[in-house]
Amino acid sequence: MLEQAQRMVDSNKWHNVTLLQTDVVEMQHLGKHFDAAVCTLGMSTIPNAERAYENMKLHLEKGGKMIIGDYQWITGWRSFFNPVVLYFCRKFGGSAANHKRSLAIFRQMHRELKHTRDRQFFMHAYRYCIGELD
């Protein structure tokens, strides 16, 4: 994926894009801040998703945007579909505990970031949230 992304960066001459391959849970502060942090379909599979979220936030500059898109534990009447969602997500590392944690991270984003907005799809099993670091 990084090779494909690098080809896009090169072909579009994006000089302000930094691609980074690292373990977001274990990474130390890099000594610089970024204007965006993006995680798609990772929080529901990362064993320590809370630390990953904190590290993403740590590396954002003030006003930087955090974007997380992931599966979440379905609540309300739609929770009937949780076993189906888990069945399809298990082969990618998804679990009930991880899906519940990703829902908690979305709630944390709403508490800690400003101008948060989100949308839910697939019977509320998938959600993305965007917020800005204050």
Q: Is the model's pTM score more than 0.85?
A: no
- Could you report the per-residue pLDDT of 35-84, keeping only the tens digit for each? 999 988 888 888 788 899 999 999 999 999 999 998 888 888 988 888 88
- Could you report the per-residue pLDDT of 35-46, keeping only the tens digit for each? 999 988 888 888
What is 33-132's CATH number, 3.30.930.10, 3.40.50.150, 3.40.50.180, 3.20.20.370?
3.40.50.150
Q: What is the domain partition of the chain in residue ranges?
A: 33-132
Report the alpha-carbon distance of residue 55 to residue 59 in Å, rounded: 6
- Residue-averaged pLDDT of the chain: 87
The residue ranges of DSSP E strands in the chain, in sequence order, are: 34-40, 60-71, 114-121, 126-132
